[in-house]
Amino acid sequence: MTISTYAERIVILTGAGLSAESGLGTFRDKDGLWTRYDLNEVATPEGFARNPVLVHEFYNARRANCLDARPNAAHDALARLQHSRPSHVTLITQNVDDLLERAGAPAVIHMHGQLTRALCAACGYRWNAPRAMDHAAPCPACNAPATRPDIVWFGEMPYHMERIDTALQAADLFVAIGTSGNVYPAAGFVQEAAAHGAQTLELNLEPSATVSLFDAARFGRASRIVADWVAEILGAPPPR
Ligand code: OAD
């Protein structure tokens, strides 16, 4: 199926593949984070309750990597696209890095939280994360020694789901970029958007687990295929 280059409302979902060429590891590829770490120990509320020091070490290392990383051509292209039509391009990311913002994207929805934010497990207050976070550091609001990364762990509810559902239901085009399609609810967005009439496109290095649900797919490195796709969209005249 040919995907129209003109779409009024575009909803984009990004995953770890978007930031791979910036040097941030993916999760499920060869050498991915979940081949080296047990996600039950570092990415669940139960793991955090068992060993908060280990969990903070894991996210402190990821925060340090993120601070050292730079946006790549795919982040730049998506930021340019959102800038061109701020009210018609919704950028949803599963990534906890801030590379889209640093590329200049004006409004990124972080459904899995952000490495740059801290969350008090006692009162829910949020603040800017220090470079190295410590479980015993007191919350600035309630003073409880219950600091955790503001990251959505397995078994927790992703953020901003109402806003995301509204955008998916209004979308003319849904595009998933650099995500393996293994983690729900994000992996189900393609079906939700399609059920409401959107065309759907996957841009990925390799076919995802859900590739058969998309109308079309293009494969290659994000820095090339995302930049090419954005150039097509920005060059497209509106239909007569
Ligand atoms: P995965 O590691 O599961 O998938 C990464 C995807 O990126 C794969 O489909 C790769 O083929 C693709 N990829 C790798 N390098 C690429 C490149 N240079 N250009 C384009 N694509 C490339 O990561 P996610 O799907 O993002 O959640 O994982 C989803 C969630 O699982 C994450 O947000 C995280 C994880 O557990 C939490 O921690 C809650």
Distance 123 CA to ligand 1 centre (A): 31
CA gap 214, 217 in Å, rounded: 7
Task: Compute the average pLDDT of residues 108-130.
Answer: 97
Whether the CB of 196 sits within 6 Å of ligand 1: no
Distance 3 CA to ligand 1 centre (A): 24
Angle at 159 between CA 19 and CA 73, to 5 degrees: 20
pLDDT tens, residue by residue, 51-79 = 999 999 999 999 999 999 999 999 999 99
Backbone angles phi, psi at 213, to 5 degrees: -85, -10
| From 205, 208, 219, mutation site for ligand 1 pocket: most ligand atoms within 8 A of C-beta | 205
pLDDT bucket at 151, cuts 50 / 70 / 90: very high
Residues 133, 127: contact at Cβ < 8 Å?
Answer: no
Q: DSSP of 100-142, one letter per residue? A: HHHTT-S-EEETTEEEEEEEETTT--EEEPPSS--TTSPPTTT
Q: Which of 112, 135, 160, 196 is catalytic?
A: 112
Residues 146, 122: contact at Cβ < 8 Å?
Answer: yes
Whether the CB of 206 sits within 6 Å of ligand 1: yes
Q: Report the candidate in 141, 132, 177, 190 with the shortest Cα–Cα distance to residue 20.
A: 177
Give, using CA atoms, the residue closest to atom 13 of ligand 1: 17
Residues 158, 186: contact at Cβ < 8 Å?
Answer: yes
CA gap 212, 154 in Å, rounded: 25
- Domain layout of the chain by residue ranges: 1-23+71-112+158-240, 25-68+113-151
We find that the CATH architecture of domain 25-68+113-151 is: 2-Layer Sandwich (3.30)
3-state secondary structure of 147: strand
Q: Please list the helix, strand and coil fractions of the chain in percent, rounded to the nearest 5, in that order.
A: 35, 20, 45
Percent of the chain with pLDDT over 90: 90
Residue 86's pLDDT is 81
pLDDT bucket at 110, cuts 50 / 70 / 90: very high
pLDDT bucket at 153, cuts 50 / 70 / 90: very high
**Residue 239: is its pLDDT beyond 70?**
no
We find that the CATH architecture of domain 1-23+71-112+158-240 is: 3-Layer(aba) Sandwich (3.40)
**Residue 240: is its pLDDT beyond 70?**
no
Residue 150's identity, in one-letter code, is D
Task: Compute the average pLDDT of residues 114-124.
Answer: 96
CA gap 138, 150 in Å, rounded: 15
pLDDT bucket at 98, cuts 50 / 70 / 90: very high
Task: Compute the average pLDDT of residues 169-185.
Answer: 97
Same fold, 1-23+71-112+158-240 and 25-68+113-151: no
Say which range, 138-142, 188-192, 204-208, 236-240, has the weakest mean pLDDT: 236-240
- Considering the chain, what is the average pLDDT of its residues? 95
Percent of the chain with pLDDT over 70: 98
Task: Compute the average pLDDT of residues 131-139.
Answer: 91
Whether the CB of 15 sits within 6 Å of ligand 1: yes
Q: Would you call 112 a catalytic residue per the annotation? A: yes
Distance 39 CA to ligand 1 centre (A): 14
Spell out the SS3 assignment of 149-200.
EEECCCCCCCCCHHHHHHHHHHCCEEEEECCCCCCCCHHHHHHHHHHCCCEE
Task: Compute the average pLDDT of residues 182-209.
Answer: 98
